[in-house]
Structures are given as structure tokens and as C-alpha cells.
Amino acid sequence: MKGSLIVIFVSLFICQVLGQSFAYAEVSPAQSGQKESKLGQSRRPKYFYSYFDRSHERQESLHYIAAVYAMSWGFYPLTQPKTFMRDGSFRNYRHNFGRLVFDQDEPFWNWFVHPLSGSQLYLFYRANGYSRSSSLGMSFISSTLFEFTVEIYSEPASVQDLYQTPILGAVLGMGLEGISMYLLNTGNPVGKFFGHLVNPSTLFWFYEGKIQLSPTINRWGGPGLNLYAEF
């Protein structure tokens, strides 16, 4: 467990350092003077995946924070139903409100789950056009709100989570960003699949408009959601 964590962090760190160079090191056959095969033509990427940082109005930033905050209220009970049902209560919420402790959690949570969620938050904001520093800042705001106003339903806010979710999340997110951009730009369907898998924010409408989600009413009159996805 510990060994694999070290391997993951070291590999991502190396990928992060090298990522920029190998992501931009491809040379097309036309440039190298070779004749391109049919397979090569079919594998030639249609789009060049990258991130373009842009300006954001204050209202837009607040919308993103509100959206992530609303999602965290949905995701928390869904991803940790046992903890939510067993330890969660509004009495605990009142008791934990404003408390900050060192949690005693296992490394699996503090060094893997929280940085992983932080990395996806970071990549969400990157996909929405925030720069790296701004993405880290926005992840910090979102994870702090989660710690102080959502997770306290079952446990007090933790020092480790407050720091490690955005900071280790950004380090991990940078590694995943480099890997996913490299894989997406290979033009290879398997590469694209894994590129989207490690960086799911690249699938959503705010990045390339390939997924649409719309509300619907089914034939029995119940509410539902239509999901349209294009690969």
C-alpha cells in the first residue's frame, strides 16, 4: 500500500517534469518526410487537446463554486453512505461546526482519496479555463467549504484534508493533466479512452461539448435525466 503510493507519487512527479516535453515532441510524417500510411491517417488526431486560460467574471467564479458545493452535498452521501448514515446527524453538525482537528484517518484517505478528489477539482477548474494557480485557489475554496460545511455532518474538519486536498490535489492534477493531454493527442482510440478516464472533466460541455444532460419525464410520469455522450 505504502510502496504503491510512493510509486504513484514519484511517477506522477516525473511525468509532470517530463510531461511538457513529451506532450509536444510529436513530429508528423509530413514534417519528417515519410509517407503516411492509411492507418496513420486514421490515427491522426482530429483536434489538438490543450487548455486555454481565459478571464472570468466574479459572478462566473461564484457560479462554479456554488455548483461544486451543491454537487458535494450529493456526492458525499453517495460515495460514503456507511459513514453518512452511521455517523451523520444534525446534532453532530452543530457540535462539529467550526472545529478543526488532526484526523486519525488511514493513509488511504489522507494520501490517496483526498488528493485524488482534489486533483479532479483542479482539473474541473482547468477545463473551465482557469490558470494553474487560479485552479488551485478555486479548489482550495471548494474543498474548504466542503470541510467546514458539508463533512461536519459526520466528522469535524481536518487539518490534513484542508491542506492535502487542494495542494497534493494540484500536484497530482498536474501529472494527470500532462498524461491525459498526451493520451488525448495520440489520436489512438485507446489512448483517448484512457485520456478521458484519468481526466473526466475533458468530456463535459464546458471543455469540448461532447456531453449533454437534460431533464425529462418518463412514460410513468417520473422525473429523469437524458444523457447524451459522443466519443
Using the contact rule CB under 8 A, the part of the chain among 161-169, 184-192, 201-209, 218-226 near another protein is: 161-169
Q: Alpha-carbon torsion 21, 133, 61, 140, what sign?
A: positive
Q: How far apart are CA 128 and CA 67, in angstroms?
A: 13
CB 41 → another protein: shortest distance, Å? Answer: 28
Q: Which residues of 85-111 are buried (b: 16+ CB within 10 A; e: fewer)?
A: eeebeeeeeeebeeeeeeeeeeeebbb
CB 51 → another protein: shortest distance, Å? Answer: 9
Establish if 35 lies at the interface with another protein (CB under 8 A).
no
Establish if 68 lies at the interface with another protein (CB under 8 A).
no
Nearer to another protein, 92 or 160 (CB): 160
166 contacts: CB under 8 Å, gap ≥ 6: 118, 121, 122, 136, 139, 140, 143
Nearer to another protein, 40 or 107 (CB): 107
Q: How far apart are CA 75 and CA 73, in angstroms?
A: 6
Establish if 75 lies at the interface with another protein (CB under 8 A).
no
Nearer to another protein, 44 or 99 (CB): 99
Q: How far apart are CA 212 and CA 198, in angstroms?
A: 20
CB 119 → another protein: shortest distance, Å? Answer: 13
Using the contact rule CB under 8 A, the part of the chain among 33-41, 100-108, 183-191, 204-212 near another protein is: 100-108
CB 36 → another protein: shortest distance, Å? Answer: 26
Establish if 137 lies at the interface with another protein (CB under 8 A).
yes
How far from each other are the two terminal CA atoms of the chain, in whole angstroms?
34
The number of helix segments (H) and strand segments (E) in the chain equals 11, 4
CA distances from 25 to 18, 22, 129 (A): 11, 5, 24
Establish if 150 lies at the interface with another protein (CB under 8 A).
no
Establish if 108 lies at the interface with another protein (CB under 8 A).
yes
Closest CA to 90 of 147, 143, 158, 152: 152
C-alpha cell at 136: 488551485
CB 95 → another protein: shortest distance, Å? Answer: 11
Contact positions toward another protein, by CB under 8 A?
2, 6, 9-10, 13, 16-17, 20-21, 24, 52-58, 60-62, 65, 80, 82-83, 86-87, 97-99, 102, 104-111, 130-134, 136-138, 140-141, 144-145, 148, 159-160, 163-164, 167-168, 170-171, 174
